[in-house]
Amino acid sequence: DVKVTQSSRYLVKRTGEKVFLECVQDMDHENMFWYRQDPGLGLRLIYFSYDVKMKEKGDIPEGYSVSREKKERFSLILESASTNQTSMYLCASSFVGGGRGEQYFGPGTRLTVT
């Protein structure tokens, strides 16, 4: 059974804190993605990675960074959390090539920044 796990389901942080969100997949997928999901705005891509130590900016990378030191793990970092980063964060993974549209999502982390 394929699996993408995220480190926390719910997280509450204060403005200015550094926040780490971890994602692990056990499917040997090359691609990994970080999205945020907000009501009325849908899923928006923050960053993605197609290989270890590789990263590409998505549509809304400002205020975020990522790290991929191992194939199965992709971390999202909020350098200095702000209230407008309160959101649902979803990690996903996929194979490369034609399979990259079939993405497997983790359960999500609902982050609240106060």
Partner 1 sequence: GQNIDQPTEMTATEGAIVQINCTYQTSGFNGLFWYQQHAGEAPTFLSYNVLDGLEEKGRFSSFLSRSKGYSYLLLKELQMKDSASYLCALLVDKLIFGTGTRLQVFP
Q: Is 108 in the site for partner 1 (CB under 8 A)?
A: yes
Chain mean position to CA 109: 9
> With respect to partner 1, which residue has the nearer C-beta, 15 or 30?
30
The span of 14-22, 40-48, 65-73, 76-84 binding partner 1 (CB under 8 A) equals: 40-48
The residue within the footprint of partner 1, chosen from 11, 43, 60, 77 (CB under 8 A), is: 43
CA distance 13 to 20: 11
Phi, psi angles (nearest 5°) of residue 29: -75, 145
CA distance 23 to 74: 5
User: Rounded to whole angstroms, how far apart are CA atoms 25 and 99?
Assistant: 16
Q: Should residue 66 be labelled a site residue for partner 1 when binding is judged by CB under 8 A?
A: no
Q: Is 105 in the site for partner 1 (CB under 8 A)?
A: yes
To partner 1, the closest distance from the beta carbon of 4 in angstroms equals: 8
Is residue 41 within the footprint of partner 1 (CB under 8 A)? Answer: yes
Taking Cα atoms as reference points, which of 16, 7, 9, 27 lies closest to residue 75?
7
Under the criterion CB under 8 A, does residue 64 sit at the interface with partner 1? Answer: no
Q: Is 40 in the site for partner 1 (CB under 8 A)?
A: yes
